[in-house]
């Protein structure tokens, strides 16, 4: 089975998981930290168009804030990082501290 994806801003968006293609493009830009105006300029649309796409997507995913939207999209597998490399042994994380913040 071939999965259609959109790659932008260092993220991969997977089509067929509840987001329309333009919604997914907007979501990837939000994940990259772009504002509504920046997204609109890059996509060649009005800022209101971007706001409507994001509102539609937040409604579908049952969230309110942009940070929640991105987190939920990651959790659902709608988006992921474009390049994930395996760390070399000297750069592997110490799993003995998972979930614990050490200052």
Domain boundaries 5-82, corresponding CATH code = 1.10.10.10
Q: Name the pLDDT band for 69 (thresholds 50, 70, 90).
A: very high
CB atoms within 10 A of CB 29: 22
Q: Give the pLDDT confidence of 8-56 residue by residue, as tens digits.
A: 888 999 998 989 999 999 999 999 999 999 999 999 999 999 999 999 9
Instruction: Please determine, for residue 61, whether its predicted confidence score (pLDDT) is greater than 90.
Output: yes
Q: pTM value?
A: 0.77
Q: Give the pLDDT confidence of 7-17 residue by residue, as tens digits.
A: 988 899 999 89
> Which whole number is the average pLDDT over 57-65?
95
Domain boundaries, the chain: 5-82
Q: Name the pLDDT band for 78 (thresholds 50, 70, 90).
A: very high
The pLDDT, as a whole number, for residue 37 is: 97
Alpha helices by DSSP H, 1-103: 21-31, 36-43, 47-61, 66-76
Write out the H or E segment, with its range, that includes residue 13: strand 11-14
């Amino acid at each position: 089975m071939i999965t259609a994806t959109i790659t932008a801003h260092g993220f991969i968006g997977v089509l067929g998981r509840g987001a329309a293609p333009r919604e997914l493009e907007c979501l990837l830009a939000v994940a990259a930290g772009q504002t509504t105006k920046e997204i609109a300029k890059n996509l060649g649309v009005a800022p209101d168009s971007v706001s409507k796409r994001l509102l539609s997507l937040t409604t579908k995913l049952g969230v309110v804030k942009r940070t929640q939207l991105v987190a939920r999209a990651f959790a659902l597998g709608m988006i992921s990082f474009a390049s994930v490399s395996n760390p070399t042994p000297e750069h592997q994380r110490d799993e003995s501290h998972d979930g614990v913040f050490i200052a």
